[in-house]
C-alpha cells in the first residue's frame, strides 16, 4: 500500500457513512491525483491525526521544562491541505524514504531548545526532517529524552461502557487478570506492523519510545518496552482488524489494544475542541465535505511529568 494511503487508511469499524443498495455515485470516485477518496471518513482520519499531534505538542511546549517537535513523516507533512499532504508523500516515495518508520514526535529539555532550533534551521526546517538520513541527524537524536508514537481515537473515554470495570481472571488468558474480549474501554494501540521497526529505531538511536494515545477528553501513555512485556507475557492478545484505503483496497492488520490501566495518565482536556466543516475540491469542481476538530486544550498530568523527569535522569 502506498504510504499516502496507509497514512489515512481507516479501520472499517470506524467507517460511519456507507450507501447501500445503490450503484456508484459521483463523489464515491472523487479524484485526488491519482488516488481516490471514497468518503469523508478518510479526510476526517487525516485531520484527526493532525489535530491530536498538535494538541500533544502544545501541551508539552506550554510548560517550562520540555518542548516537542514533529519528527515522523506524517507529523511534518502539510497540515491544512490534503492535496499538499499527498504530494509530500509522493516526494518521500521518490526519495526512497516513503516506507521508513520513525516515531511521530521527539521531546527535549527546554534548555536545549535554542541549540535544537539552530540545527533544524541548518537542514532547512522541521519539514525537511523526513528527507534527511538519520546518520546526519545524530546531533538532534542525542539530545532527545524520548520519542513519541502517536495514536488517536474519536471517543469520550470516560463514557466508554467498561471504563470502570474491574479486572477478573480470564479463561482465554489462562487465568490472568483482564476483561472480556468484547469489553469497550480506552486502550493504547500499537500496530503489529510497527512493532519491529519501532524497536529497531529505539535500539539504533538509544532513545526510548513511548506511545501516546489521545481521546476526545483525555490521553494515556505507555513505554514501548512495557507494551512489549505485556504482549510477550500474553496479557494482551492481538486483534485482527480490516483497514480500508482511500482507493478501496482492504488489508487485514494485527493490532494490540492495551488497557489504559496498564499505562499512565498523560493528559486531560481542559478545553473542548470545536467541530468545524471543511471540504476539498477537485480540478473539475467536485466538492467532498467533512468535519474536523479545531482548537481545544490538553494539559499534561503530574504522572506524565514525573515520567519525563525520570527519563531525564536516565
3-state secondary structure of 273: coil
Query: With 60 as the cut, is the pLDDT of residue 13 above it?
Result: no
CB-based contacts of 175, cutoff 8 Å, min separation 6: 169
Residue 189: its pLDDT value, please? 94
Residue 161: its pLDDT value, please? 95
Give the HSE-up count for residue 225: Cα atoms under 13 Å, Cβ half-sphere: 8
- Locate 212 and state its grid cell: 501516546
Q: Is 251:210 a contact under the CB 8 Å cutoff?
A: no
- Locate 187 and state its grid cell: 486502550
- The whole-number average pLDDT for the span 228-237 is 94
- The whole-number average pLDDT for the span 264-284 is 85
Domain count, the chain: 1
* Of the candidate ranges 1-10, 30-39, 73-82, 289-298, the one whose mean pLDDT is the lowest: 30-39
Please provide the distance, in angstroms rounded to a whole number, between the alpha carbons at the two ends of the chain: 38
d(CA 180, CA 170): 7
The pTM of this model reads 0.86
Q: Which domain holds residue 272?
A: 3-313
- Residue written as cell 512485556? 229
Ramachandran class of 270: left when φ > 0, alpha when ψ lies in -120 to 50, beta otherwise: alpha
Minimal CA–CA distance to 227: which of 253, 251, 191?
Answer: 191
Minimal CA–CA distance to 189: which of 272, 254, 271, 95?
Answer: 254
User: What's the burial of 114, exposed, middle or buried (CB within 10 Å: 0-12/13-18/19+)?
Assistant: exposed
* Of the candidate ranges 149-158, 231-240, 274-283, the one whose mean pLDDT is the lowest: 274-283
Residue 91: its pLDDT value, please? 81
**Cis peptide upstream of residue 34 (ω within 30 degrees of 0):** yes
Largest CA distance in the chain: 61
- The whole-number average pLDDT for the span 60-66 is 95
Ramachandran angles phi, psi of 97, nearest 5°: -115, 5
Residue 2 pLDDT grade (very low, low, confident, very high; cuts 50, 70, 90): low
Greater model confidence, 133 or 286: 133
Residue 247: its pLDDT value, please? 67
d(CA 261, CA 247): 37
Query: With 50 as the cut, is the pLDDT of residue 297 above it?
Result: yes
Query: With 70 as the cut, is the pLDDT of residue 25 above it?
Result: no
Residue 114: its pLDDT value, please? 95
Amino acid at each position: 500500500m502506498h504510504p499516502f494511503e496507509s497514512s489515512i487508511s481507516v479501520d472499517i469499524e470506524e467507517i460511519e457513512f456507507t450507501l447501500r443498495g445503490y450503484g456508484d455515485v459521483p463523489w464515491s470516485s472523487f479524484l485526488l491525483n491519482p488516488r481516490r477518496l471514497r468518503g469523508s471518513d478518510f479526510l476526517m482520519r487525516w485531520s484527526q491525526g493532525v489535530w491530536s499531534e498538535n494538541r500533544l505538542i502544545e501541551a508539552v511546549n506550554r510548560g517550562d521544562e520540555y518542548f516537542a517537535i514533529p519528527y515522523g513523516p506524517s507529523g511534518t507533512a502539510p497540515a491544512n491541505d490534503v492535496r499538499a499532504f499527498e504530494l509530500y508523500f509522493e516526494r518521500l516515495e521518490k526519495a526512497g524514504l516513503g516506507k521508513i518508520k520513525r516515531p511521530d514526535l521527539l521531546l527535549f529539555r527546554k534548555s536545549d531548545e535554542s541549540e535544537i532550533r539552530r540545527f533544524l534551521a541548518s537542514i532547512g526546517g522541521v519539514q525537511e526532517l523526513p528527507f534527511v538520513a538519520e546518520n546526519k541527524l545524530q546531533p538532534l537524536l542525542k539530545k532527545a529524552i524520548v520519542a513519541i508514537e502517536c495514536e488517536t481515537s474519536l471517543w469520550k473515554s470516560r463514557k466508554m461502557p467498561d471504563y470502570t470495570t474491574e479486572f477478573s481472571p480470564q479463561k482465554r488468558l489462562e487465568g490472568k487478570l483482564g476483561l472480556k474480549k468484547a469489553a469497550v474501554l480506552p486502550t493504547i494501540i500499537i500496530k503489529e506492523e510497527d512493532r519491529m521497526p519501532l524497536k529497531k529505531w529505539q535500539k539504533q538511536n538509544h532513545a526510548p519510545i513511548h506511545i501516546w494515545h489521545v481521546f476526545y477528553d483525555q490521553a494515556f501513555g505507555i513505554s514501548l518496552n512495557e507494551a512489549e512485556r505485556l504482549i510477550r507475557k500474553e496479557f494482551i492478545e492481538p486483534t485482527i482488524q480490516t483497514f480500508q484505503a482511500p482507493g478501496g483496497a482492504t488489508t487485514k492488520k494485527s493490532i494490540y489494544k492495551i488497557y489504559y490501566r496498564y499505562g499512565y495518565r498523560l493528559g486531560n482536556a481542559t478545553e473542548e475542541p470545536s467541530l468545524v466543516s471543511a471540504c476539498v475540491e477537485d480540478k473539475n469542481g467536485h466538492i467532498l465535505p467533512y468535519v474536523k476538530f479545531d482548537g481545544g486544550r490538553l494539559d499534561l498530568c503530574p504522572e506524565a511529568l514525573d515520567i519525563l523527569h525520570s527519563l531525564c535522569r536516565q
